[in-house]
Amino acid sequence: MRVLLLGTAAGGGVPQWNCACANCEAVRAGTAPARTQDCLAVSADGRTWYLLNASPDIRTQLTSYAALAPLPPRESPLRGVLLTDGELDHTLGLFQLKEAAGLRVWAPAAVAATVPAREIAGRYHGWEWPRLEERFELGGLVVTVFPVSGKRPKYAGDSALDGPWVVAYRIEDPATGGSLVYAPCVAQWPEGFDDFCAGASCVLLDGSFFAPDEMAGATAGDVGSGAQLAMGHLPMAGEHGSLARIRRSRDTRWLYTHVNNTNPVLSPASPEHAALLEAGAELPPDATELLL
């Protein structure tokens, strides 16, 4: 199984267009690499590919890799998209895929019923929205779905639909035994998540924030810890943070994605980055490829 990390940043990317925090300024100064918004592509054979989430940066991401280039005249290797949630930074890219005839999109039922792209982009070509089964086959790979939380996007705030609104995916390659868990949005460490990740070759985990109050400190804004936690992202630090969980499981390769522009781990010289490495985790850049 080939896995391309097309983007590794949270919504807005790094630098974020309206932010002058230290991390964004470092990218503008050319002393740190830019990051596009979280999205990845997987393939069992290197010929047919599936996206996990569709970021607003999807055009740039797709045109940056020869493996994702179309064959003449317009035969794209892209076969479908798996959405972990309905947040705009994971679904706006669907509008840019409107030329894709016959695209298949899998999503939690509540997301599939409310995401704007289903009605609008789907009018350009007939898209299929298969029911998201707990376990299913996908182009030679096997996908298992794990409900993560009921965190709904703001545009669906008044929806009466039951969740889950956020899921994680475990993707396994029966031919190689390799497996990947993709969980870019984790509001808290769900019961059973340790078992879901057990034995996985790699886990791509929510790395949005290091501390529960970092946005207020980084941007001098009025975003307190309560408001930040309400965004649905478990911080890395603390007794119950994700780094503490990772320390208990050294048999799996843990990689952070969906990293917010305010997160101090983006600076290799920071103590927060050192803490990440000490826990046995990694912070891969955009364009990282995994062979599992």
Residue 57: CB atoms within 10 A of its CB come to: 23
How many whole angstroms separate alpha carbon 184 and alpha carbon 169?
10
* Predicted confidence band of residue 232 (pLDDT cuts 50, 70, 90): confident
Tokens of 63: 């045109």
> Can you name the residues that pair with 40 across neighbouring β-strands?
5, 52
CA dihedral 73, 63, 179, 288 (to 10 degrees): 150
Identity at 64, one-letter amino acid code:
S
What are residue 270's phi and psi, to 5 degrees? -80, 150
- The CA-CA-CA angle for residues 65, 8, 214, to 5°, reads 160
Model confidence over 240-289: pLDDT tens digits? Answer: 899 999 876 668 999 999 999 999 999 999 999 999 999 999 999 999 99
Length of the chain: 292
Domain ranges of the chain: 2-291
> Residues with Cβ < 8 Å from 282, sequence gap 6 or more?
253, 254, 255, 256, 276
Eight-state DSSP code of residue 66? G
Eight-state DSSP code of residue 271? H
Nearest to 200 by CA among 242, 142, 132: 142
How many whole angstroms separate alpha carbon 42 and alpha carbon 2?
6
Tell me the CATH number for domain 2-291.
3.60.15.10
Identity at 135, one-letter amino acid code:
R
> Can you name the residues that pair with 52 across neighbouring β-strands?
40, 82
* Predicted confidence band of residue 157 (pLDDT cuts 50, 70, 90): confident
> Residues with Cβ < 8 Å from 88, sequence gap 6 or more?
11, 56, 153, 155
Identity at 95, one-letter amino acid code:
F
The answer to whether 98 and 73 are in contact (CB under 8 A) is no
pLDDT exceeds 90 at position 31: yes
* Termini Cα distance of the chain: 5
Model confidence over 72-95: pLDDT tens digits? Answer: 998 999 999 999 999 999 999 999
- The overall pTM is greater than 0.85: yes
> Residues with Cβ < 8 Å from 161, sequence gap 6 or more?
109, 110, 113, 114
Residue located via tokens 């980055």:
273
* Predicted confidence band of residue 207 (pLDDT cuts 50, 70, 90): very high
Distances (CA, A) of 252 to 61, 160, 194: 27, 38, 11
> Can you name the residues that pair with 150 across neighbouring β-strands?
none
Lowest mean pLDDT among 28-42, 118-132, 142-156, 271-285: 118-132
SS3 category, 266: helix
Q: Identify the pLDDT of residue 10.
A: 98
The answer to whether 257 and 52 are in contact (CB under 8 A) is no
